[in-house]
Amino acid sequence: MIGKLRGNVIAEEPPLLTLDVHGVGYEVAVPVGSLGRATNENGEVDLWIHTVVREDALELFGFASELERRVFRQVISVPNVGPKTALGVLSALPVAELAAAVEASDIARLTRVPGVGKKTAERFVLELRGKLPAEATISAASARAPVARTGDPKSRLLSALTNMGYRPVEAERAIQALGQRVDQEPLSELLRDALAELSA
């Protein structure tokens, strides 16, 4: 089994990227925003890998941290939830937000994730509540902390998205899609819609 890979990204076709590790190219599916968090100071990408072996395929799913991989494994332990759905969940909801939504039984937030209906959202709450790693729950508490009200709305939104691990270019694209709303609506609503834009 492959547990971790370090290399250089030579191709991207989200959610897949090709990672060159000493001349061998590995195709890895990663959640939106992971690449920015997984790139080290040398420009190399470190990914924690979950391997799925089926009769007709071997699939690699990569994560910026061991915590994200653990949460992914817990999500796929939920009945009728496969790796691709779990990847979509972690693309739309960073670990802290997922933990916060599960602990608060926020079905409405969970059902905004593409591919997650009401029954699946209810299963997430039932199966994952109180079981997510302690670090995820601590992150969830800090995610609920108020965002500093300094700077203009665009800067605050950009800062919030980059702090969640999205690359500045991804965050800028999502903010641009919100248009004039950035100067008129509350940060919490803008952040929610920017995340939806990033996971589309």
Interval 94-118: pLDDT, tens: 888 898 889 889 999 999 888 899 9
The answer to whether 44 touches 30, Cβ cutoff 8 Å, is no
Region 153-199: CATH code: 1.10.8
Query: Is the preceding peptide bond at 15 cis, omega within 30 degrees of 0?
Result: yes
pTM of the model: 0.69
Region 66-143: CATH code: 1.10.150.20
Q: So what's the pLDDT on residue 135?
A: 63
Q: So what's the pLDDT on residue 140?
A: 47
Region 4-63: CATH code: 2.40.50.140
Gap between the Cα atoms of 113 and 131, Å rounded: 20
β-strands 24-29, 58-63: how paired? parallel
Q: So what's the pLDDT on residue 168?
A: 80
Residues of the chain with pLDDT under 50: 139-150
Q: So what's the pLDDT on residue 47?
A: 96
Q: So what's the pLDDT on residue 95?
A: 86
Q: So what's the pLDDT on residue 188?
A: 72
Q: Do domains 4-63 and 153-199 have the same CATH topology?
A: no
Q: For the chain, which residues make up each domain, given as ranges?
A: 4-63, 66-143, 153-199
Short-list 113, 43, 36, 103, CA closest to 68: 36
Token pair 């941290």: residue: 65
